[in-house]
Amino acid sequence: MTDLSPAWQDALEAYERHLRAERGLSEHTVRAYTGDLAQLAAHAEALAIRDPAGLHLRALRSFLASQQVRGRSRSTLSRRAAAVRRFTAWMARTGRCDDDAGALLVNPRRHRELPAVLRQDEVRALLDAAAARAGDDAVGARDVAVLELLYATGIRVGELCGLDIDDVDQSRRVVRVIGKGDKERSVPFGVPAGRALDRWLAVRGTLAVDGSGPALFLGRRGARVDPRTVRRMVHTRLEDVEGAPDLGPHGLRHTAATHLLEGGADLRSVQELLGHASLATTQLYTHVSSERLRQAYTQAHPRA
């Protein structure tokens, strides 16, 4: 943002503080929003709009059109339109401009692709292979517990990495999760995940160091495990499952949600378990289940 005018720099820095302090958004979301708005600012300055107070609807539409020409996906365009609208609404609300230029900005229709998920037999193969590889290794025991908990709960990788030991209630088999916007929820897990956690906690001390603190999952050097390590581990372990799609931790979240719905869980319960703010987000998984049903029907019914 150093090449932007002082007016743009001031507005974007103030908005970033607002996202962190007042809205409590995750670091990843803040980076995404500020990155989108930095591109808007560069486009606006190319149109000789050196102050965000001078934004108008034509400039915003021009920005989105330029993104489309560059081949940005519809989901990216949708996110950037949302970021722009929130920014201009904040500008108007805080008195930085007279009118909300983005109030009439239409959100590009987002094409939502069905997420890839594992079949139930593939999940069993993944967990069995991870357990076989673990042996007596502490990191192996950790990896099994991570995989079991991700699939059992459907929590996000950032939520998992932020867990402390006291967040796990083994007697009730629930885990306390701090989700987006610092919202807390309790998510149940099953007996296999509970056993994997017990095995990990029994050897956690071999990795712990003075600075480990209360973190539930530790890296090789004793610090709290980071999301990149977990993502890399999930991709690696899935290589042991022949024919399985190459998924990361979020793929296990999709898988957990899909299997819950296939097993008869109601949509509202799944929404609460996953920590979705909107039921529309959870409804995507009903499409996954319906698509599987359609494929089975097409393959099996003589008059399909």
Active-site option among 80, 253, 254, 259: 253
Edge-to-edge order in the sheet of strand 168-169: 168-169, 174-178, 184-188
Active-site option among 142, 156, 199, 259: 156
180 is catalytic: yes
DSSP 18: I
* Residue of 256, 248, 271 lying closest to 154 (CA atoms): 256
R_g of the chain computed on alpha carbons: 23
287 is catalytic: no
Active-site option among 180, 231, 235, 287: 180
Six token digits for residue 49: 């709009």
Instruction: Give the H/E segment covering residue 69.
Output: helix 57-69
Six token digits for residue 290: 């319906």
Yes or no: say if 274 and 262 are a contact pair by the CB < 8 Å rule. Answer: no
Six token digits for residue 119: 């079949």
DSSP 182: G
285 is catalytic: yes
List, in sequence order, every beta strand (DSSP E) within 92-195: 168-169, 174-178, 184-188
Active-site option among 18, 185, 250, 287: 250
Rounded-to-integer distance, Cα 178 and Cα 91, Å:
29
111 is catalytic: no
Angle at 58 between CA 56 and CA 62, to 5 degrees: 120
Conformation bin of residue 222: beta by default, left when phi > 0, alpha when psi is -120 to 50: left
Supply the residues annotated as catalytic. Answer: 156, 180, 250, 253, 276, 285
